[in-house]
Amino acid sequence: MRTALLFILMLLTACNQGRTVERLGGPTMGSSYSIQYVREPGGPAPAQVQAAVEAILNGIDRHYSTYRGDSTVSQFNLLPANQCMALPPDMLELVAFGQHLAEQGDGAFDLTVEPLLDLWGFGPQARHMRVPDPQSLAQARQRVGYRHLYVQGQALCKDAPVQLDFNSIAAGHAVDLIAARLQAMGVASFVAEVTGELKAVGRKPDGSPWRIALELPREDRQIARQVIPLNGLSVSTSGDYRHYFEDNGRRYSHIFDARLGRPVQHDLAAVTVLDASALRADGYSTLLLILGPQRGWDFAMTHGLPAVLVTRAEGGFVSRATPAFERAVKGE
């Protein structure tokens, strides 16, 4: 489960010169979505907004859900080696972004980790969470590797029986699509959130900014570690503290290093990234978490990413924010 944010619901409920804050939401992607938007006089009603948002989310589910046998990604995953399949343009764009992340992270991030997720108990075909035996792990790793994918025209091809999993970036993509749709409907101020990935645009009716609380990576309860104002930015937090199991005193999370074929084993508990694109924020928060406390920090600094890395330490957590994050929060 991707966990990201706590909402600070300091929103006005009274009218402000005919402008109101509307709220709506519902289930999606095994979690939930929520929309808060400022409705101008004559602006779209909540029912209209909800219908538009859920049409987008249904499309995401139809294309990217590995839990649906009839989804586009499931159909691609069933293909044997040396086969191609035509994909929608936006899906090819996500593949290209995933391949870019894989190249930047030297293969640590990889869209083809589906066999590993299933083997360790985190995927749609999983039976139970467990540490696999070496032989099963070696067999699964033969079906993992982003270099086995290539594009021909509008088709995605594979030269090995690899399987795709877009869960690390699909929610961010959904947020970007929803944000664009809201703006096309004339909504100028909103917070759009899908499974914890979100984007905030504009301001509340009283002129104050949307304020978002970043969550401390604790398993037992939700505690805000920092509250930040957002306008025109997306925020994504990837963490290892909600979906995991323990075996012989060792913790195994759903965050995988594809190069090693196993969950990451380091002290970096959570990463938050800000970006104008929710897709980019989603992808880079995952990549940094996989890379770990030092390599993730070095990567964020080298690439000028607005990021906060939260590391487990004796007695609690230590947070470290990049200069780009501090500037972004200040609106610079």
Predicted pLDDT of residue 8: 39
Task: State which amino acid sits at residue 297.
Answer: W
CATH number for the domain including 127? 1.10.3980.10
Question: Which pLDDT tens digit goes with each residue over 70-114?
Answer: 999 999 999 999 999 999 999 999 999 999 999 999 999 999 998
Are residues 193 and 88 part of one domain?
A: no
Predicted pLDDT of residue 85: 98
- Looking at the chain, list the stretches that DSSP marks H as alpha helix, in order from N- to C-terminal side: 46-64, 72-78, 89-104, 114-120, 134-141, 170-184, 278-291, 293-302, 323-329
Predicted pLDDT of residue 7: 42
Could you tell me the pLDDT band of residue 2, with boundaries at 50, 70 and 90? Answer: very low
Q: Which of 38-47, 152-161, 176-185, 264-273 has the lowest mean pLDDT?
A: 264-273
Sign of the torsion formed by the C-alpha atoms of 117, 118, 123 and 128: negative
Could you tell me the pLDDT band of residue 6, with boundaries at 50, 70 and 90? Answer: very low
295 has a pLDDT exceeding 70: yes
pTM of the model: 0.90
Distance, CA of 214 to CA of 236 (rounded, Å) = 9
How many independent structural domains does the chain possess?
A: 3
Question: Which pLDDT tens digit goes with each residue over 178-211?
Answer: 999 999 999 999 999 999 999 999 999 999 999 9
**Is 1 inside any structural domain?**
no
Q: Which carries the bigger pLDDT value, residue 103 or residue 244? A: 103
Percent of the chain at pLDDT above 70?
A: 87
Predicted pLDDT of residue 248: 65
**Is 304 inside any structural domain?**
yes
Mean pLDDT of 286-297: 96
Instruction: Give the distance from CA 305 to its chain's centroid.
Output: 16
Contact 76, 161 (CB under 8 A): no
Are residues 217 and 201 part of one domain?
A: no
Token pair 């290093």 in the structure block, residue = 257
CA distances from 33 to 27, 50, 87, 163, 252 (A): 6, 10, 26, 27, 27
The boundaries of the domain holding residue 273 are 209-332
